[in-house]
């Protein structure tokens, strides 16, 4: 029995497979003076590998052979399901679910659309750059928080670690309580411990700050836990 054109085109979407990652972080954080941070899996990456990353990103920028679209409220991003799915099982499942629905209702052979309405377009763009190239350029405070949220939700662990590292490296008395709450919300024990140690080491300028007083009122359990850590650190001989 001959295969119809629509059926043939739709079966192309059923081939879902899947990349790797790291990061270059820098730029000004809002309200803070950040450190410049550079990440690399290997400082001696060969020219061929760098060229490969450039070529891979050019496929995305040029919308070449893209087989899915990532949708935000303001913009769509044609992408490659293979790149998004390697190692990232939450993204893989999300894409596979959309593709299955499209195969079951194959009428128009348009690209499957993956909903990312909970993220703004800049965050999705930065996330895509990371997924394709292992790099993030020009990371700053507010963007790092948004990327941290996205990386945690979609279990892009390497990206989450880079954002966490950036936030910890740029802690100040005016923002440490905010990041402590962020770590608590996402159940990030490592980042939470890092913030609590920072607060213990800078307690003199923090405990009299309005941000700390607000934390004591809104989250007394967390503030008390942090205070106990502060005391234990200060009493260590």
Residue with the two structure tokens 């490592």:
190
CA dist 66 to 27, 81, 84, 124, 153, Å? 31, 8, 11, 16, 24
**pLDDT for position 137:** 81
Whether this prediction's pTM lies above 0.95 is answered by no
Most confident by average pLDDT, 19-23, 90-94, 216-220 = 216-220
Q: What is the pLDDT of residues 111-149, one digit of tens each?
A: 788 899 999 999 999 999 999 988 888 899 999 999 999
Among 35, 38, 45, residue whose Cα is nearest residue 23: 38
**pLDDT for position 64:** 86
Full set of structural domains in the chain with CATH? 172-236 (1.25.40.420)
* Residue predicted with more confidence, 56 or 34: 56
User: Is 200 in contact with 230 (CB distance < 8 Å)?
Assistant: yes
Q: What is the pLDDT of residues 149-198, one digit of tens each?
A: 999 999 999 999 999 999 999 999 999 999 999 999 999 999 999 999 99
Please spell the DSSP secondary structure of the chain, one letter per residue: -PPPHHHHHHHGGG---------EE-SPPTTS-PPPEE--S-TT--HHHHHHHHHHHHHHHTT-S--EEEE-SS-EEEE-HHHHHTT-HHHHHHHHHHHHHHHHT-SS-PPPEEE-TTS-HHHHHHHHHHHHHS---S--HHHHHHHHHHHHHTT-HHHHHHHHHHHHHT--TTTHHHHHHHHHHTT-HHHHHHHHHHHHHTHHHHTTSHHHHHHHHH-HHHHHHHHHHHHHHHT--
């Amino acid at each position: 029995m001959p295969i119809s054109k629509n059926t043939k085109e739709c079966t192309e979407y059923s081939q879902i497979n899947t990349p790797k990652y790291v990061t270059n972080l820098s730029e000004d954080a809002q309200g803070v003076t950040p450190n410049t941070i550079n990440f690399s899996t290997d400082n001696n990456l060969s020219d061929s590998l760098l060229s490969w990353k450039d070529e891979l990103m050019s496929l995305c920028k040029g919308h070449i052979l893209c087989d899915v679209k990532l949708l935000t409220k303001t913009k769509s991003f044609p992408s490659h399901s293979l790149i998004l799915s390697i190692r990232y099982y939450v993204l893989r499942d999300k894409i596979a679910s959309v593709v299955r629905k499209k195969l079951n209702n194959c009428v128009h052979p348009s690209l499957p659309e993956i909903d990312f309405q909970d993220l703004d377009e800049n965050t999705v763009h930065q996330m895509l750059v990371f997924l394709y190239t292992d790099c993030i350029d020009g990371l700053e405070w507010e963007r790092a928080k948004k990327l941290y949220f996205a990386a945690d939700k979609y279990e892009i662990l390497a990206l989450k670690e880079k954002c966490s590292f950036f936030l910890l490296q740029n802690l100040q008395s005016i923002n440490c309580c905010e990041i402590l709450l962020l770590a608590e919300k996402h159940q990030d024990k490592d980042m939470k411990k890092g913030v609590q140690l920072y607060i213990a080491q800078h307690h003199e300028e923090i405990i009299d700050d309005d941000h700390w007083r607000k934390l004591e009122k809104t989250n007394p359990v967390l503030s008390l836990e942090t205070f106990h850590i502060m005391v234990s650190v200060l009493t260590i001989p």
